[in-house]
Amino acid sequence: MRTKSTEKANAIVEYVDAFFEHNRRSPSIREIEAGTGIPRPTVQRYLVDMDDKGQIEYDGSNIITEYIRRITTQNIVRLPISGAVPCGEPQNEEEWKGDFVEFPASLLGSGDFYILMADGDSMTDAGIDKGDYVIVRRTNSAEFGKIVVALDNEQRNTLKRLAFDTKTKRPYLHPENKKYKDIYPDTLSIQGVAEMVIKNLK
């Protein structure tokens, strides 16, 4: 039997891992050939050999590497990026069907989650800046002190901290930026509670 090249074996595994990360499926032999330049018969022999040695799992179609096994055994959820939420003056509710972000379920806990992109600067003192992605748990109720996505009586939504005025006995929306005023809507509808923020470090 021909001696197998470690370099070729590593090249095949690296390509399979990268392909799976982008496509969420194993590449075909033809795709591995195109991606690595290694001829199909050679790719086939290496896959069979690595399967025999327990380095990968290969059933003639699907390829499972150590990396693929690790990421697929985790409980991953796909969160929809549902739109932009104003961090400033409330704006008309928007239903934007965008992309998805995959996220470990263990970091979220139970509930129905979605992602909104922050637009504005009224929550900067809470660490939420324009362009950040806010992970929101869908709910129509929230404790005072929580940051919420709220819809007011004019069907406009905004991201603010839910507060309670002890003098007027009314809930209100508090911005985390001194240049903005508190919002006292006639009616207040909670759309969700902000749980996490994903941001790019500049």
Report helix angle 6-23 to 66-73, nearest 10.
30
Is-contact 132 117, C-beta < 8 A?
yes
With tokens 């022999």, the residue in question is 45
Which residues share a beta bridge with 162? 173
Catalytic residues, by residue number, are 122, 160
Alpha-carbon distance 133 to 83, whole Å? 10
**What does the alpha-carbon distance between residue 69 and residue 110 come to, in Å, rounded to a whole number?**
24
Could you tell me whether strands 133-138 and 100-104 are parallel, antiparallel, or unpaired per DSSP bridges? unpaired
Q: Kindly state the helix (H) or strand (E) to which residue 52 belongs, with its residue range.
A: helix 40-52
**Torsional class of 154: left (φ above 0), alpha (ψ -120 to 50), beta (otherwise):** alpha
